[in-house]
Structure 1
């Protein structure tokens, strides 16, 4: 695989799956198109209504981590610092005859590195230049964006909102 042309830097505490979605958007591709770079051994967790959960996390084997590093144009050690699930292994994809093939397995974020919440889109845009959805591992006591006055909501809930506006708006 050729290295990526555009550099995409991860956010601190971001889900690996969230970074893959942002990389896809950066290249103007659907996430499913970029996920074809890995052999996926299962499907992401879904809500009762059928939609994929926003807190779906992907675990990559060693070859898969190399593919992501090339695609992002970021050193693997930088990805390991920023993405809590980046270095986690799954024996079903990291051992055996096909361990050298870029593989992925889906998990719920809560079973990997803790609860996940949506990131503040305004902060994501300021940091990355893209006003896209990002999902990060965040404990509940760190879910207020003080800069923009937003309470960042759980990513595992089946609801359309990513945040609640905490700024006080009084009628005139």
Structure 2
């Protein structure tokens, strides 16, 4: 994994070195990428998390439509190669509720100068995440990445991510 530089307007850029650079956007604007500081030049660790298991807890109308009751429905959706948005999974593209993604990955003992950043990609609603049972600090959905270095152990690690999709999106 290469260092990630953040520039104004919420753009993340993966850079091949720590030098200053510039980036010309498709609209013709040029953005300056500052050189990494010495403290930011720590080695990044590339971890292949592999497949994700997805379970969806959805609230659906109860069996008696004449009453205003609902029922919880658990959908076990199997494995995914990525944290795939529900809109791309036909069986649940109109569902609301809480999606729980889990995955295991193995890690050798990282050196003290290693930084491991978990990058989530686009996030449209709220989310929470855990590493090895410890809840991570709040994740900014406008910059959905977080340093997880201090939560990892040598050997097998478990990651759990909950994505919340409100009922109003049905």
* TM value normalised by structure 1: 0.23
Which has the higher relative contact order, 1 or 2, with Cα contacts under 8 A spaced 6 or more apart? 1
Q: Which has the larger radius of gyration?
A: 2
Compare the two structures and name the one with the higher strand fraction: 2
